[in-house]
Amino acid sequence: MEKNPIKKKAIYGRRNVEEFIAKGSIKNVTEAWVKDSFHGEALSTILKDLPDKSIVLKKTSREMDRSLHGVNHQGVVLWAFEKSVQNKPKKYQDWKENLEPHQGPFLLLDRIQDPGNMGSIIRTAECFGVNTVIYPERGSCGITDVVLKISSGALHHLNVFQVANLSRVVEELKKKNYWVVSTTDQGDENWEDLPDAEDLAIILGNEGEGVKPILLEESDYAMRIPLHGEVSSLNVGVACGIILDRIVNR
């Protein structure tokens, strides 16, 4: 028996696989599995960037379904060395030591619990040019395989940090002259008055409770999205897109 087997992890979902390859992590892949029914253009599109000789290609729907039971793998799976897969967040000290002015916007996620929301937020953040996402270790769903899949590969291009306390993050940001914006249904609607995006940190709150009161108190701005229907709130993933659009594309 092998004493220290090398751990491998599945990267699945077409867009997730494409972004993993685009990031240059393909050198860490040992096997590629695809559905038996894939052939011709469909197969070449998915695997166009795979080196021909170094990766074992298997067409195996049954084994794929059995290994990833209940997962929507979309017919393509890469098996890569676990250390090469960006699903483990970095530590607070790493972020603090490399923090400089004008690196924003930062996105701080206060106790996002649903993996679907977390994945959607990460995808949206990357699309709007955010390169750093920070969340607390308590009360958050964390970076799971579901988050990785729903982020559609965006997680491969982001710096994600897990911290003990978001208040400490806010404190360090203010030392570097960042302005902190919290989102709340009791906030201001005039987004044009905010400082430049590169000088901002944005806090999104928990699905049910919103941003913690202590974080609201520590924020420089409290903002809200004006709503005109009968429903009084938005899904946090949807709200994230609206907020980042208002801030980045002013």
What is the per-residue pLDDT across 81-128, written as a single tens digit (0 to 9) for each? 766 555 578 889 999 999 999 999 999 999 999 999 999 999 999 999
Q: Give me the residue spans of the domains in the chain.
A: 8-84, 90-248
Of 43, 55, 54, nearest to 14 by C-alpha is: 43
Per-residue pLDDT band at 237 (split at 50, 70, 90): very high
Amino acid at 223: M
d(CA 131, CA 148): 16
Alpha carbons 141 and 74: distance in angstroms, whole number:
24
Same fold flag, 8-84 and 90-248: no
Tokens linked to 41: 């253009």
Confidence of residue 40 (pLDDT cuts 50, 70, 90): low
C-alpha distances out from residue 97 to 10, 34, 54, 161, 169, Å:
32, 42, 38, 13, 12
The pLDDT value recorded for residue 151 is: 87
Give the separation between CA 99 and CA 176, rounded to whole angstroms. Answer: 8
pLDDT of residue 2 exceeding 60, the answer is: no
Q: Which CATH architecture has domain 8-84?
A: 2-Layer Sandwich (3.30)
* More confident: 201 or 57: 201
Q: Which of 18-22, 140-144, 152-156, 237-241 has the highest mean pLDDT?
A: 237-241
For residue 188, pLDDT over 70 is answered with yes
Helix 236-248 to helix 115-127 angle (10° resolution) is 10
Q: What is the pLDDT of residues 46-80, one digit of tens each?
A: 566 565 556 777 777 777 788 877 778 888 888 87
User: Is the pTM above the cut of 0.85?
Assistant: no
- Indicate the average pLDDT of the chain: 85
Q: What is the pLDDT of residue 60?
A: 73
pLDDT band for position 148 (50/70/90)?
confident
Three-state SS across 143-198? CCHHHHHHCCCHHHHCEEEEECCHHHHHHHHHHCCCEEEEEEEEEECCHHHCCCHH
Phi, psi of 176 (to 5 degrees): -100, 15
Average the pLDDT over each of 21-30, 166-175, 187-196 and give the range with the smallest value: 21-30
What SS3 class is residue 108?
A: strand
Rounded to an integer, what distance in angstroms lies between the CA atom of residue 175 and that of residue 169?
A: 10
Span 90-248: which CATH code? 3.40.1280.10
Give the pLDDT score at 241.
97
Q: What is the pLDDT of residue 64?
A: 79
